[in-house]
Amino acid sequence: MSYAPTLTSLRSRPMPDWFDEAKLGIFVHWGLYSVPGWAPASGEYGRLIRDEGWAAWFAKNPYAEWYQNSLRIEGSPTRRHHLQTYGPQFSYDEFVPMFNQAIAGWDPDEWADLFQRVGAGYVVLTSKHHDGFLLWPSRTPNPHKPGYVASRDLVGELAAAVRSRGLRMGIYYSGGLDWTFQPTPVRDVVDLLTTVPQGADYVGYADGHWRELIKLYRPSVLWNDIGYPAGTDLKELFADYYNLVPEGVVNDRWLQFRAARSRFFRNRLVRGVVSRLLAWGLSRSASPPARGHLDFRTPEYTSFRKIMIQKWEATRGIGYSFGYNQNEGPGQCISVEDLVHTFVDIVSKNGNLLLNVGPMADGTIPELQRERLLGLGQWLGVNGEAIFGTRPWVYAGARTREGMDVRFTQNGRALYAILLGTPEGARVIFESLLVDEGTAIHLLGEEAALDWQQEGESLRVTLPEGLPDSPAYTLRLAPPGAGMPGS
Protein backbone atom coordinates (compact mmCIF):
# COMPACT_ATOMS: atom_id res chain seq x y z
CA MET A 1 0.00 0.00 0.00
CA SER A 2 1.24 3.49 -0.83
CA TYR A 3 0.84 6.29 1.71
CA ALA A 4 0.13 9.95 0.99
CA PRO A 5 1.49 12.88 3.06
CA THR A 6 -1.77 13.41 4.94
CA LEU A 7 -2.72 12.56 8.52
CA THR A 8 -5.67 10.52 7.27
CA SER A 9 -3.42 8.35 5.11
CA LEU A 10 -0.66 8.00 7.70
CA ARG A 11 -3.08 7.11 10.47
CA SER A 12 -4.74 4.42 8.34
CA ARG A 13 -1.59 2.36 8.63
CA PRO A 14 -1.80 -0.57 11.10
CA MET A 15 0.88 -1.16 13.72
CA PRO A 16 3.41 -3.65 12.30
CA ASP A 17 3.18 -6.99 14.10
CA TRP A 18 6.92 -7.19 14.72
CA PHE A 19 6.94 -4.12 16.97
CA ASP A 20 3.93 -5.28 18.95
CA GLU A 21 5.52 -8.67 19.52
CA ALA A 22 9.17 -7.73 20.12
CA LYS A 23 8.60 -6.32 23.66
CA LEU A 24 12.30 -5.63 24.33
CA GLY A 25 14.61 -3.23 22.54
CA ILE A 26 18.13 -2.10 23.39
CA PHE A 27 18.89 1.61 23.27
CA VAL A 28 22.55 2.61 22.82
CA HIS A 29 23.83 6.08 23.75
CA TRP A 30 27.38 6.40 22.45
CA GLY A 31 29.33 9.45 21.36
CA LEU A 32 31.81 12.12 22.40
CA TYR A 33 30.27 12.29 25.87
CA SER A 34 31.42 8.68 26.36
CA VAL A 35 35.02 9.92 26.57
CA PRO A 36 34.64 11.88 29.83
CA GLY A 37 31.85 9.51 30.88
CA TRP A 38 30.89 11.71 33.79
CA ALA A 39 27.80 13.18 35.42
CA PRO A 40 26.71 13.61 39.03
CA ALA A 41 24.60 10.69 40.23
CA SER A 42 21.83 13.12 41.19
CA GLY A 43 18.93 10.69 41.05
CA GLU A 44 16.23 9.50 38.73
CA TYR A 45 14.68 11.76 36.12
CA GLY A 46 11.14 12.24 37.42
CA ARG A 47 12.02 12.34 41.13
CA LEU A 48 14.66 15.05 40.77
CA ILE A 49 12.34 17.26 38.71
CA ARG A 50 9.44 16.84 41.12
CA ASP A 51 11.60 17.42 44.19
CA GLU A 52 13.83 20.27 43.02
CA GLY A 53 12.48 21.61 39.73
CA TRP A 54 13.69 21.77 36.16
CA ALA A 55 16.48 24.29 36.77
CA ALA A 56 18.05 21.97 39.34
CA TRP A 57 17.67 19.07 36.91
CA PHE A 58 19.70 20.80 34.19
CA ALA A 59 22.31 22.14 36.63
CA LYS A 60 22.83 18.73 38.26
CA ASN A 61 21.94 16.68 35.18
CA PRO A 62 22.67 12.97 35.79
CA TYR A 63 22.44 12.28 32.04
CA ALA A 64 26.09 12.02 31.01
CA GLU A 65 25.14 12.50 27.35
CA TRP A 66 24.22 16.09 28.29
CA TYR A 67 27.85 16.73 29.33
CA GLN A 68 28.38 19.61 26.90
CA ASN A 69 25.26 21.45 28.07
CA SER A 70 26.07 20.88 31.75
CA LEU A 71 29.60 22.12 31.10
CA ARG A 72 28.20 25.47 29.97
CA ILE A 73 26.24 26.05 33.17
CA GLU A 74 28.30 28.09 35.62
CA GLY A 75 28.80 26.31 38.95
CA SER A 76 27.44 22.96 37.80
CA PRO A 77 29.06 19.76 39.11
CA THR A 78 30.02 18.83 35.54
CA ARG A 79 31.74 22.17 34.97
CA ARG A 80 33.72 21.79 38.20
CA HIS A 81 34.73 18.25 37.22
CA HIS A 82 35.78 19.31 33.73
CA LEU A 83 37.94 22.18 34.97
CA GLN A 84 39.64 19.97 37.55
CA THR A 85 40.18 17.08 35.14
CA TYR A 86 40.97 18.73 31.81
CA GLY A 87 41.68 22.38 32.62
CA PRO A 88 40.01 25.63 31.49
CA GLN A 89 41.46 25.57 27.96
CA PHE A 90 40.20 22.08 27.06
CA SER A 91 37.13 22.34 24.84
CA TYR A 92 34.46 19.71 24.26
CA ASP A 93 35.60 19.37 20.64
CA GLU A 94 38.92 17.98 21.81
CA PHE A 95 37.11 14.75 22.66
CA VAL A 96 36.74 14.08 18.90
CA PRO A 97 40.21 12.58 18.26
CA MET A 98 40.04 10.74 21.59
CA PHE A 99 36.75 9.12 20.63
CA ASN A 100 37.92 8.22 17.14
CA GLN A 101 41.03 6.62 18.52
CA ALA A 102 39.01 4.67 21.08
CA ILE A 103 36.57 3.18 18.56
CA ALA A 104 39.30 1.68 16.40
CA GLY A 105 39.05 -1.68 18.19
CA TRP A 106 35.26 -1.83 18.59
CA ASP A 107 33.63 -5.09 17.50
CA PRO A 108 29.92 -4.68 16.66
CA ASP A 109 29.44 -8.46 16.66
CA GLU A 110 30.13 -8.57 20.41
CA TRP A 111 27.24 -6.19 21.01
CA ALA A 112 24.96 -8.06 18.64
CA ASP A 113 25.73 -11.37 20.35
CA LEU A 114 24.96 -9.89 23.76
CA PHE A 115 21.71 -8.26 22.66
CA GLN A 116 20.55 -11.48 20.99
CA ARG A 117 21.44 -13.46 24.10
CA VAL A 118 19.32 -11.14 26.24
CA GLY A 119 16.30 -11.67 23.99
CA ALA A 120 16.00 -8.21 22.43
CA GLY A 121 14.01 -7.86 19.23
CA TYR A 122 15.49 -4.56 18.08
CA VAL A 123 18.32 -2.09 18.70
CA VAL A 124 18.24 1.73 18.51
CA LEU A 125 21.54 3.63 18.20
CA THR A 126 22.12 7.37 18.66
CA SER A 127 23.23 8.52 15.21
CA LYS A 128 23.41 12.14 16.40
CA HIS A 129 22.81 13.38 19.92
CA HIS A 130 22.32 16.98 21.03
CA ASP A 131 26.03 17.80 20.64
CA GLY A 132 25.66 17.31 16.87
CA PHE A 133 28.45 14.74 16.49
CA LEU A 134 27.65 12.17 13.79
CA LEU A 135 28.17 8.41 14.04
CA TRP A 136 27.96 7.81 10.30
CA PRO A 137 29.83 9.33 7.30
CA SER A 138 27.11 11.73 6.22
CA ARG A 139 26.91 13.25 2.76
CA THR A 140 25.38 16.28 4.47
CA PRO A 141 28.34 17.59 6.47
CA ASN A 142 28.05 20.00 9.37
CA PRO A 143 28.49 23.56 8.03
CA HIS A 144 29.76 24.82 11.37
CA LYS A 145 32.17 22.04 12.31
CA PRO A 146 33.87 20.24 9.42
CA GLY A 147 35.03 16.74 10.32
CA TYR A 148 32.64 16.53 13.27
CA VAL A 149 32.01 12.85 12.57
CA ALA A 150 33.14 9.41 13.71
CA SER A 151 36.01 7.80 11.81
CA ARG A 152 33.96 4.61 11.31
CA ASP A 153 30.42 4.05 10.06
CA LEU A 154 29.15 3.00 13.49
CA VAL A 155 25.50 3.08 12.41
CA GLY A 156 26.05 0.88 9.37
CA GLU A 157 28.35 -1.59 11.10
CA LEU A 158 25.97 -2.13 14.01
CA ALA A 159 22.99 -2.42 11.66
CA ALA A 160 24.72 -5.20 9.72
CA ALA A 161 25.71 -7.03 12.91
CA VAL A 162 22.29 -7.03 14.57
CA ARG A 163 20.43 -7.88 11.37
CA SER A 164 22.68 -10.87 10.79
CA ARG A 165 21.29 -12.23 14.08
CA GLY A 166 17.65 -11.62 13.22
CA LEU A 167 17.26 -8.37 15.18
CA ARG A 168 15.88 -5.16 13.73
CA MET A 169 17.80 -1.89 13.63
CA GLY A 170 16.40 1.48 14.65
CA ILE A 171 18.00 4.93 14.57
CA TYR A 172 17.84 7.77 17.10
CA TYR A 173 18.41 11.32 15.88
CA SER A 174 18.23 14.52 17.91
CA GLY A 175 16.07 16.67 15.66
CA GLY A 176 15.11 19.20 18.30
CA LEU A 177 18.51 20.12 19.70
CA ASP A 178 21.81 20.61 17.92
CA TRP A 179 24.35 22.66 19.83
CA THR A 180 26.49 23.18 16.74
CA PHE A 181 23.64 25.31 15.32
CA GLN A 182 22.24 26.74 18.57
CA PRO A 183 24.83 26.71 21.38
CA THR A 184 22.69 28.52 23.96
CA PRO A 185 22.65 26.39 27.14
CA VAL A 186 19.44 24.74 28.24
CA ARG A 187 19.02 25.89 31.85
CA ASP A 188 15.29 25.28 32.28
CA VAL A 189 12.60 23.29 30.52
CA VAL A 190 11.25 26.39 28.79
CA ASP A 191 14.62 26.74 27.06
CA LEU A 192 13.70 23.65 25.10
CA LEU A 193 11.00 25.77 23.42
CA THR A 194 13.47 28.48 22.40
CA THR A 195 16.65 26.60 21.50
CA VAL A 196 15.31 24.35 18.73
CA PRO A 197 17.11 25.64 15.60
CA GLN A 198 14.48 27.07 13.23
CA GLY A 199 16.59 28.50 10.39
CA ALA A 200 16.33 27.21 6.85
CA ASP A 201 19.89 25.91 7.09
CA TYR A 202 19.00 23.57 9.97
CA VAL A 203 15.67 22.56 8.44
CA GLY A 204 17.53 21.35 5.35
CA TYR A 205 20.29 19.80 7.45
CA ALA A 206 18.03 17.72 9.71
CA ASP A 207 15.70 16.71 6.89
CA GLY A 208 18.68 15.75 4.74
CA HIS A 209 20.07 13.63 7.55
CA TRP A 210 16.85 11.74 8.19
CA ARG A 211 16.37 11.06 4.49
CA GLU A 212 19.96 9.91 4.18
CA LEU A 213 19.65 7.61 7.19
CA ILE A 214 16.44 6.14 5.79
CA LYS A 215 17.92 5.57 2.35
CA LEU A 216 21.23 4.13 3.55
CA TYR A 217 20.11 1.95 6.46
CA ARG A 218 16.35 1.30 6.07
CA PRO A 219 15.79 1.64 9.84
CA SER A 220 12.84 -0.20 11.37
CA VAL A 221 12.40 2.64 13.91
CA LEU A 222 12.71 6.40 13.51
CA TRP A 223 13.38 7.60 17.05
CA ASN A 224 13.48 11.38 17.07
CA ASP A 225 14.11 13.38 20.25
CA ILE A 226 13.07 16.67 21.90
CA GLY A 227 11.14 18.09 18.90
CA TYR A 228 11.66 19.21 15.32
CA PRO A 229 12.02 22.50 13.43
CA ALA A 230 8.70 23.95 12.39
CA GLY A 231 9.70 24.47 8.77
CA THR A 232 9.64 20.76 7.93
CA ASP A 233 6.66 18.93 6.46
CA LEU A 234 6.78 15.81 8.61
CA LYS A 235 3.82 14.22 6.86
CA GLU A 236 5.86 14.09 3.68
CA LEU A 237 8.86 12.64 5.51
CA PHE A 238 6.75 9.94 7.17
CA ALA A 239 4.92 9.02 3.97
CA ASP A 240 8.20 8.65 2.09
CA TYR A 241 9.58 6.56 4.95
CA TYR A 242 6.60 4.18 5.10
CA ASN A 243 6.65 3.77 1.33
CA LEU A 244 10.32 2.79 1.46
CA VAL A 245 10.23 0.82 4.74
CA PRO A 246 6.72 -0.71 4.93
CA GLU A 247 7.23 -2.15 8.42
CA GLY A 248 8.87 0.93 9.91
CA VAL A 249 7.55 2.84 12.94
CA VAL A 250 8.00 6.41 14.21
CA ASN A 251 7.94 7.64 17.78
CA ASP A 252 6.13 10.62 19.33
CA ARG A 253 8.94 13.14 19.89
CA TRP A 254 8.48 15.23 16.74
CA LEU A 255 6.59 18.15 18.29
CA GLN A 256 7.18 21.28 16.21
CA PHE A 257 7.54 24.35 18.42
CA ARG A 258 6.07 27.00 16.14
CA ALA A 259 6.30 29.71 18.80
CA ALA A 260 9.89 28.86 19.66
CA ARG A 261 11.22 32.42 19.30
CA SER A 262 8.26 34.25 20.71
CA ARG A 263 8.92 36.83 23.41
CA PHE A 264 6.10 35.12 25.26
CA PHE A 265 8.44 32.35 26.39
CA ARG A 266 11.19 34.76 27.37
CA ASN A 267 9.04 36.51 29.97
CA ARG A 268 10.21 35.53 33.46
CA LEU A 269 6.71 35.13 34.87
CA VAL A 270 5.59 33.02 31.91
CA ARG A 271 8.70 30.85 32.15
CA GLY A 272 8.02 30.18 35.82
CA VAL A 273 4.38 29.24 35.23
CA VAL A 274 5.19 26.97 32.26
CA SER A 275 7.99 25.28 34.17
CA ARG A 276 5.72 24.53 37.13
CA LEU A 277 2.94 23.27 34.87
CA LEU A 278 5.29 20.90 33.08
CA ALA A 279 6.66 19.60 36.37
CA TRP A 280 3.11 19.04 37.62
CA GLY A 281 2.17 17.31 34.38
CA LEU A 282 5.12 14.95 34.70
CA SER A 283 3.92 13.92 38.15
CA ARG A 284 0.41 13.22 36.83
CA SER A 285 1.13 11.43 33.56
CA ALA A 286 3.73 9.12 32.11
CA SER A 287 4.35 11.40 29.14
CA PRO A 288 2.94 14.63 27.74
CA PRO A 289 0.12 14.46 25.19
CA ALA A 290 1.40 14.04 21.65
CA ARG A 291 0.32 15.91 18.53
CA GLY A 292 0.60 15.06 14.87
CA HIS A 293 1.34 11.57 13.63
CA LEU A 294 3.00 8.85 15.70
CA ASP A 295 3.04 5.08 16.01
CA PHE A 296 3.93 4.87 19.69
CA ARG A 297 4.47 7.04 22.76
CA THR A 298 7.70 7.09 24.78
CA PRO A 299 7.45 7.75 28.54
CA GLU A 300 10.87 8.05 30.16
CA TYR A 301 11.77 6.38 33.46
CA THR A 302 8.11 5.71 34.17
CA SER A 303 5.10 3.70 33.05
CA PHE A 304 1.40 4.12 32.44
CA ARG A 305 -1.01 3.20 35.22
CA LYS A 306 -3.34 1.07 33.10
CA ILE A 307 -3.54 -0.90 29.88
CA MET A 308 -3.17 1.47 26.93
CA ILE A 309 -5.06 0.89 23.70
CA GLN A 310 -2.30 2.46 21.61
CA LYS A 311 1.11 0.80 21.56
CA TRP A 312 3.78 2.51 23.64
CA GLU A 313 7.41 2.10 24.60
CA ALA A 314 8.96 2.93 27.97
CA THR A 315 12.59 3.92 27.90
CA ARG A 316 15.17 4.11 30.67
CA GLY A 317 18.81 3.52 31.44
CA ILE A 318 20.10 0.73 33.63
CA GLY A 319 21.30 3.53 35.88
CA TYR A 320 20.25 7.19 36.11
CA SER A 321 22.07 8.08 32.88
CA PHE A 322 21.76 6.99 29.28
CA GLY A 323 25.37 7.80 28.33
CA TYR A 324 28.18 6.03 30.19
CA ASN A 325 28.70 7.53 33.65
CA GLN A 326 31.72 6.37 35.62
CA ASN A 327 30.03 7.51 38.85
CA GLU A 328 27.29 4.89 38.67
CA GLY A 329 27.76 1.84 40.88
CA PRO A 330 25.39 -0.86 42.14
CA GLY A 331 23.42 1.70 44.14
CA GLN A 332 22.54 3.68 41.03
CA CYS A 333 21.72 0.70 38.79
CA ILE A 334 18.37 -1.06 38.74
CA SER A 335 18.53 -4.57 40.24
CA VAL A 336 17.72 -7.60 38.10
CA GLU A 337 14.61 -8.21 40.19
CA ASP A 338 13.32 -4.65 39.75
CA LEU A 339 14.22 -4.76 36.06
CA VAL A 340 12.15 -7.91 35.55
CA HIS A 341 9.23 -6.44 37.49
CA THR A 342 9.40 -3.19 35.51
CA PHE A 343 9.52 -5.06 32.21
CA VAL A 344 6.63 -7.37 33.08
CA ASP A 345 4.49 -4.43 34.22
CA ILE A 346 5.15 -2.58 30.96
CA VAL A 347 4.31 -5.59 28.79
CA SER A 348 1.08 -6.25 30.73
CA LYS A 349 -0.08 -2.73 29.78
CA ASN A 350 0.64 -3.03 26.03
CA GLY A 351 4.13 -1.56 26.13
CA ASN A 352 7.64 -2.38 25.03
CA LEU A 353 10.76 -1.65 27.06
CA LEU A 354 13.61 0.17 25.31
CA LEU A 355 16.40 -0.53 27.80
CA ASN A 356 19.50 1.59 27.39
CA VAL A 357 23.16 0.67 27.60
CA GLY A 358 25.85 3.34 27.75
CA PRO A 359 29.15 1.96 26.42
CA MET A 360 32.52 3.42 27.25
CA ALA A 361 34.26 5.31 24.46
CA ASP A 362 35.97 2.14 23.18
CA GLY A 363 32.67 0.28 22.99
CA THR A 364 33.06 -1.67 26.21
CA ILE A 365 29.71 -2.22 27.90
CA PRO A 366 30.38 -1.84 31.65
CA GLU A 367 30.16 -5.02 33.68
CA LEU A 368 27.29 -3.77 35.86
CA GLN A 369 25.22 -3.14 32.75
CA ARG A 370 26.12 -6.52 31.28
CA GLU A 371 25.16 -8.20 34.53
CA ARG A 372 21.71 -6.63 34.50
CA LEU A 373 21.17 -7.48 30.84
CA LEU A 374 22.19 -11.09 31.30
CA GLY A 375 20.05 -11.40 34.44
CA LEU A 376 17.02 -10.28 32.45
CA GLY A 377 17.99 -12.64 29.64
CA GLN A 378 18.30 -15.56 32.04
CA TRP A 379 14.80 -14.93 33.37
CA LEU A 380 13.42 -14.65 29.84
CA GLY A 381 15.07 -17.94 28.96
CA VAL A 382 12.51 -19.63 31.24
CA ASN A 383 9.60 -17.21 31.08
CA GLY A 384 9.87 -15.71 27.60
CA GLU A 385 6.71 -17.35 26.31
CA ALA A 386 4.71 -15.20 28.76
CA ILE A 387 6.27 -12.08 27.21
CA PHE A 388 7.10 -12.37 23.53
CA GLY A 389 4.18 -12.36 21.13
CA THR A 390 1.64 -11.78 23.91
CA ARG A 391 -1.08 -9.18 24.34
CA PRO A 392 -2.63 -7.61 27.43
CA TRP A 393 -5.43 -9.49 29.18
CA VAL A 394 -8.68 -8.00 30.52
CA TYR A 395 -6.75 -6.67 33.54
CA ALA A 396 -3.08 -5.79 33.76
CA GLY A 397 -2.63 -6.99 37.31
CA ALA A 398 -3.96 -8.07 40.67
CA ARG A 399 -2.73 -9.21 44.09
CA THR A 400 -2.90 -12.70 45.51
CA ARG A 401 -4.52 -13.37 48.88
CA GLU A 402 -0.98 -13.67 50.24
CA GLY A 403 -0.24 -10.10 49.12
CA MET A 404 1.94 -10.79 46.07
CA ASP A 405 1.59 -8.60 42.98
CA VAL A 406 0.60 -10.36 39.75
CA ARG A 407 0.66 -9.26 36.11
CA PHE A 408 -1.28 -10.93 33.30
CA THR A 409 -0.52 -11.50 29.62
CA GLN A 410 -2.17 -13.74 27.06
CA ASN A 411 -1.93 -15.20 23.59
CA GLY A 412 -4.22 -17.48 21.63
CA ARG A 413 -3.01 -20.53 23.53
CA ALA A 414 -2.75 -19.52 27.18
CA LEU A 415 -3.26 -16.97 29.92
CA TYR A 416 -0.12 -16.15 31.90
CA ALA A 417 -0.14 -15.05 35.54
CA ILE A 418 3.28 -13.66 36.43
CA LEU A 419 4.00 -13.57 40.17
CA LEU A 420 6.34 -10.66 40.94
CA GLY A 421 8.61 -12.47 43.36
CA THR A 422 9.11 -15.89 44.92
CA PRO A 423 6.06 -17.31 46.73
CA GLU A 424 6.81 -18.10 50.37
CA GLY A 425 4.48 -21.06 50.75
CA ALA A 426 3.37 -24.03 48.71
CA ARG A 427 0.18 -22.39 47.53
CA VAL A 428 -1.04 -19.22 45.93
CA ILE A 429 -4.64 -18.01 45.91
CA PHE A 430 -5.95 -15.69 43.23
CA GLU A 431 -8.95 -13.72 44.38
CA SER A 432 -11.78 -13.36 41.87
CA LEU A 433 -10.31 -15.61 39.17
CA LEU A 434 -12.51 -18.21 37.49
CA VAL A 435 -10.98 -21.12 35.55
CA ASP A 436 -12.67 -23.58 33.20
CA GLU A 437 -12.87 -27.17 34.37
CA GLY A 438 -10.51 -28.51 31.69
CA THR A 439 -7.74 -25.99 32.33
CA ALA A 440 -4.19 -27.24 32.92
CA ILE A 441 -1.91 -25.01 35.01
CA HIS A 442 1.87 -25.26 34.67
CA LEU A 443 4.73 -23.39 36.29
CA LEU A 444 7.03 -22.33 33.46
CA GLY A 445 10.25 -24.30 33.70
CA GLU A 446 8.50 -27.32 35.23
CA GLU A 447 7.02 -30.24 33.26
CA ALA A 448 4.34 -31.53 35.64
CA ALA A 449 0.94 -29.87 35.81
CA LEU A 450 0.00 -28.27 39.13
CA ASP A 451 -2.98 -29.15 41.30
CA TRP A 452 -5.62 -26.47 41.54
CA GLN A 453 -9.08 -25.95 42.99
CA GLN A 454 -11.79 -23.43 42.25
CA GLU A 455 -13.10 -22.23 45.60
CA GLY A 456 -16.07 -20.05 44.80
CA GLU A 457 -14.63 -17.04 43.00
CA SER A 458 -11.05 -17.76 44.10
CA LEU A 459 -8.46 -20.00 42.47
CA ARG A 460 -6.09 -21.99 44.72
CA VAL A 461 -2.93 -23.35 43.04
CA THR A 462 -0.50 -25.74 44.75
CA LEU A 463 3.12 -24.96 43.95
CA PRO A 464 6.25 -27.13 44.09
CA GLU A 465 7.98 -27.14 47.47
CA GLY A 466 11.11 -25.10 48.04
CA LEU A 467 11.12 -22.82 45.03
CA PRO A 468 14.48 -21.03 44.72
CA ASP A 469 14.56 -17.25 44.71
CA SER A 470 13.66 -15.77 41.34
CA PRO A 471 12.65 -12.27 40.26
CA ALA A 472 9.29 -13.68 39.16
CA TYR A 473 7.47 -16.96 38.54
CA THR A 474 4.96 -17.58 35.76
CA LEU A 475 1.86 -19.76 35.76
CA ARG A 476 0.51 -20.82 32.37
CA LEU A 477 -3.26 -21.48 32.27
CA ALA A 478 -4.24 -23.34 29.12
CA PRO A 479 -6.52 -23.26 27.34
CA PRO A 480 -7.04 -19.58 28.21
CA GLY A 481 -10.60 -19.95 29.46
CA ALA A 482 -10.06 -17.92 32.61
CA GLY A 483 -11.94 -14.82 33.61
CA MET A 484 -12.90 -12.63 36.52
CA PRO A 485 -16.41 -12.49 37.93
CA GLY A 486 -18.42 -10.01 35.95
CA SER A 487 -15.82 -9.70 33.17
- Whole-angstrom Cα distance, residue 69 to residue 72? 5
Residue type (1 letter), 80: R
Whether residue 334 is predicted with pLDDT greater than 50 in this model: the reply is yes
Whether residue 272 is predicted with pLDDT greater than 60 in this model: the reply is no
What is the side-by-side strand order in the sheet with 249-250?
249-250, 221-224, 168-173, 122-128, 24-28, 351-357, 312-317
So where are the chain's domains?
A: 7-386, 391-478
Whether residue 220 is predicted with pLDDT greater than 80 in this model: the reply is yes
- Model confidence over 6-31: pLDDT tens digits? 999 999 999 999 999 999 999 999 99
pLDDT category of residue 283 using cuts at 50, 70 and 90:
very low
pTM of the model: 0.94
Q: What is the DSSP string of 32-58?
A: GGGTT--------HHHHHHHH-HHHHH
Q: For residues 78-102, give the mean pLDDT.
A: 98
What's the pLDDT score for residue 280?
Answer: 44
The structural architecture, per CATH, of the domain 7-386 is Alpha-Beta Barrel (3.20)
What's the pLDDT score for residue 46?
Answer: 82
pLDDT category of residue 275 using cuts at 50, 70 and 90:
low
What's the pLDDT score for residue 48?
Answer: 87
- Whole-angstrom Cα distance, residue 125 to residue 117? 18
pLDDT category of residue 43 using cuts at 50, 70 and 90:
confident
Asked whether 294 and 241 are in contact (CB, 8 A), the reply is: no
pLDDT category of residue 482 using cuts at 50, 70 and 90:
low
- Whole-angstrom Cα distance, residue 354 to residue 340? 13
Whether residue 170 is predicted with pLDDT greater than 90 in this model: the reply is yes
Asked whether 58 and 187 are in contact (CB, 8 A), the reply is: yes
Q: Do domains 7-386 and 391-478 have the same CATH topology?
A: no
Whether residue 427 is predicted with pLDDT greater than 90 in this model: the reply is yes
Lowest mean pLDDT among 52-61, 204-213, 350-359: 52-61
- Nearest in space to 35 (alpha carbons), one of 97, 83, 88: 97
Lowest mean pLDDT among 157-166, 262-271, 376-385, 425-434: 262-271
Return the percentage of the chain with pLDDT > 70, whole number.
92
Question: Roughly how many angstroms between the first and final C-alpha of the chain, as a whole number?
Answer: 38
What's the pLDDT score for residue 295?
Answer: 97
What's the pLDDT score for residue 264?
Answer: 53
Q: For residues 258-270, give the mean pLDDT.
A: 55
pLDDT category of residue 260 using cuts at 50, 70 and 90:
very low
**Which one of 3.40.640.10, 2.60.40.1180, 2.60.210.10, 2.30.30.50 gives the CATH number of domain 391-478?**
2.60.40.1180
For the chain, what is the mean pLDDT?
93
Angle of CA points 270, 176, 28, to nearest 5° = 125
Whether residue 227 is predicted with pLDDT greater than 90 in this model: the reply is yes
389 phi/psi in degrees, rounded to 5: 75, 10
What's the pLDDT score for residue 401?
Answer: 96
- Model confidence over 339-395: pLDDT tens digits? 999 999 999 999 999 999 999 999 999 999 999 999 999 999 999 999 999 999 999
Q: How far is CA 283 from CA 47, 272, 287, 309, 430, in A?
A: 9, 17, 9, 21, 32
| E strands, 182-237, in order | 221-224
